[in-house]
A = this chain, B = another copy of it.
């Protein structure tokens, strides 16, 4: 891998850079080394090589990924060079033991396809000219079994078992297949090949990133600094954002969906998203929290700003403006009473609208409900329902406003 020699390099002081880089970081290994690297880079006007690896086993990137992508952008803005690594080697292998159901085995074509959508998505955030996109298959496929055995010899079983998830599974007598011990080594070896100065990732990647440090040291390279950032909570506010939990906003989601789902966040989560996605300083976040507490800041207004920001980031300001307007038309201008009753339903596919109207109590029977629709008296989220045969997908976490006639409102919430 060639090191970039003389890129456009900002002249922000190393200490200042450090502060921006470490904002929101959970682990920094180590701050001292990182400052040293930044100073050196500053002195020599030589950008650092910042590595971040992405698993291409799913085509969509979501807000969870944006946390790390934003940080990469920070590095770029400070003049550094970003290596966007697509871990297609392991994705191609998948989990051959068949134990890990969440990691599908992908064909070369699928990986290529996902990688293509990745580029499209990440360059909504990253600067294309300051980004090197790599596939680790390009060196890993050339690695012989002898090379892999050599790699394996550089790490002990005991150290590998220190990884939090391995340790837990081992204690619970849950199977750990041997190849799972090889994957962190592959990831670490990527850092050796790429001669990374810094690697960043989510907190659950800390162990793997540190393996990279070890392998670099053994190869006589200056070990990479490692920074981890929080896993963004998903829309449920509980689990990490993940496609498997269906609690995510994807970068490529339609703008209306991004806007709508953001508006549904609870206040606490909204602050969290401000913190991790809008790259606010600590002072700004403190101010925000205080404003919310004192009532100086209105949560609805803040949510609108966040939703606007996100749609703008992924779809541009024209679209963002349009979505904001739409939202205001549908919701704000509807004059929905602030104390409308909430109604919980269980998730269900193809739930008949008339049955819902009946259940909520807006009609004494489904045939009465049909008549209401035919009379044009029913709205969902401000849009008139015209088809009395309409089936709705009730998905966990969904919320919408059901209106019948002029005065009857209900907030329908789909529980689990």
A positions within 8 Å CB-CB of B: 92-93, 95-97, 140-141, 143-150, 152-158, 160-161, 166, 170, 173, 175-179, 181-182, 185
Contact = CB atoms under 8 A, between A and B. Distances in A.
Main secondary structure of the interface of A (DSSP, over half): helix
Contact of A185 (B96, B141, B153, B178): B178
Contact of A140 (B92, B141, B145): B145
A274 to B, nearest CB: 42
A179 B156 contact: no
Contact of A143 (B95, B145, B152): B145
Given A141-B145, A149-B179, A153-B179, 10 more contacts: A93-B149, A96-B150, A96-B154, A143-B145, A148-B149, A149-B182, A154-B178, A156-B176, A157-B178, A178-B185
A147 B96 CA distance: 10
A334 B83 CA distance: 85
User: How many copies of this kind of chain does the complex include?
Assistant: 2
B144 A156 contact: no
Given A141-B146, A143-B145, A145-B145, A178 B158 contact: no
A147 B149 contact: no
A156 B175 contact: yes
A177 B148 contact: no
A162 to B, nearest CB: 12
A138 B315 CA distance: 56
5 contacts: A93-B146, A97-B153, A156-B176, A157-B170, A181-B181
Contacts of A181: 152, 157, 178, 181
A293 B241 CA distance: 80
